[in-house]
Structure 1
């Protein structure tokens, strides 16, 4: 479904800065009472408790570029390291162990990751080092099973980026950032983790290139659109029904209210005025924002 049937007014939400001075924050996840995220070019995974007012705490440091994060059913943190194409597992003592080496499956650098309730990790691939307006090389979406076994899960993805699963765990939704037009693609997840029933949930108009995404209790998908500087909400039927003006959003996470009410809670946004590593090395203007949703 296209989002061009009804043009929603753009809201101007207030936001609070909960972390700043970052190079390029990405992959935020609300877990166990805190926000976890990667500062990609700084090689760090950070944890911050917004209620404490304390500075972010480093939970892992790598010599590579960590991005996608997820948690296994036992609470272990998985870290996707894009440049060496490895999924690491953080052990209880803080050491990093190799959970899965994806170098034989990846076409190029890896980016975001979603870990489902069964402990399966779905991993996206840039495809190549091209930049718009050139199309990327189509690449596979990779599935990593809980034991670290990995295989291609779906082919022909146009820069698979942010991913979420629906509340019942039956559907995987993937942002294809460099599809033309940008789109959300949905798959049915089998009991064995096999993806079937590929379908387009939403195609975006204009310059929207969907990046990181999050999902709420009503299966609305919140989509970061960095180059139009807005966050869009896509309902379960595939219609854009809300737009928030937010500076340079690359990824989002949701903290749902305790009562599980749909559409409410807090939205955390990874924001940066530039994505290029050389610029972020001196600029360090990355921030994490908090928006209270009404």
Structure 2
């Protein structure tokens, strides 16, 4: 039986967990806040951005990037706490971000607004290079969600929630993507946020199935951590798996207020790659 401990509770729609330095960072989309939390569960707000989604990544120089989806911008958190524009993404509706070890930022977004009841349209992935150039590098992902990059900077993995799979791409020298393939067919799994470990396996959080699951390339299930509410995203900090969860009520209502939690469970294989 997995020993899952609650690090923090009483939040809203919690997402985008990131391990940086010796602390966990995550976003509370309901509050428009990016927070950090220490191992004792003490949290502090590090940035406020009114945006839903609200996801984050880290540049190699240690500065945080924040996807301000509503503004269609990628923001950078400066050492003094100010927010500057890192790149103009050109429209709203962006979702997740991952930054590789070379400073390439991959940002994805759906092709429709699910909260407005729009008909589904495939989404895309865009690359933001370190010099600020934005270009589309992948399309036809039914509903792009979490992303991760392998430790060798060689592969980008994208969670396609609607197609119940993880999609893999080779990362070219210029940051472009090629050799698209189904990295793992997840069957009934509905992947949201993801992360990679040192054996090359992927953990994915799952809202409707209320679990966080570890799979090998191809889809073999290696471990499942059962949850009592929807799993929105996960990240490894060393050999600790952090999972952000909440009680999902649908696109119109999102989550039950105060049901957002940050959970932690020890695992056998430590983190690798990004995030």
Q: Deviations over 1:110-137 (max 9, x none)?
A: 1111110011111111221247x99720
From 156, 163, 176, give the equivalent of 2:140.
Answer: 156
- Looking at structure 2, the residues matched to 205 and 19 of structure 1 have their Cα atoms a distance apart, in angstroms, of 31
Aligned residue for 1:83, secondary structure, equals helix
- Looking at structure 1, the residues matched to 56 and 6 of structure 2 have their Cα atoms a distance apart, in angstroms, of 21
- Looking at structure 2, the residues matched to 134 and 61 of structure 1 have their Cα atoms a distance apart, in angstroms, of 28
- Looking at structure 2, the residues matched to 217 and 271 of structure 1 have their Cα atoms a distance apart, in angstroms, of 24
- Aligned position for 2:65: 78
Please, which runs of 5 or more residues in structure 2 have no aligned partner?
A: 269-275
From 240, 259, 263, give the equivalent of 1:285.
Answer: 259
Check whether the contact 2:207–2:248 (CA below 8 A) recurs between aligned residues: no
2:76 is aligned with 1:89: yes
Q: Deviations over 1:46-96 (max 9, x none)?
A: 00111xx25211010112235221111100100112222211100111000
Q: Deviations over 1:215-235 (max 9, x none)?
A: 111111001111011111111
Q: How does 1:176-215 map to 2 (within 5 A)?
A: 176-179=160-163, 182-206=164-188, 208-215=189-196
Q: Deviations over 1:157-206 (max 9, x none)?
A: 11111001112110000001112xx1100000011101000000111222
TM-score with structure 2 length normalisation? 0.90
Check whether the contact 2:184–2:217 (CA below 8 A) recurs between aligned residues: no
Q: Is the alpha carbon distance of 1:227 and 1:96 closer, same or farther for their aligned partners in structure 2, counting shifts above 3 Å?
A: same
Count of aligned residue pairs for this structure pair? 266
- Looking at structure 2, the residues matched to 183 and 54 of structure 1 have their Cα atoms a distance apart, in angstroms, of 33
Check whether the contact 1:183–1:201 (CA below 8 A) recurs between aligned residues: yes
Higher strand share: 2
Check whether the contact 2:213–2:224 (CA below 8 A) recurs between aligned residues: yes
Check whether the contact 1:218–1:236 (CA below 8 A) recurs between aligned residues: no
TM-score with structure 1 length normalisation? 0.85
2:12 is aligned with 1:23: yes
- Looking at structure 2, the residues matched to 21 and 57 of structure 1 have their Cα atoms a distance apart, in angstroms, of 14
Please, which runs of 5 or more residues in structure 1 have no aligned partner?
A: 1-11, 257-264
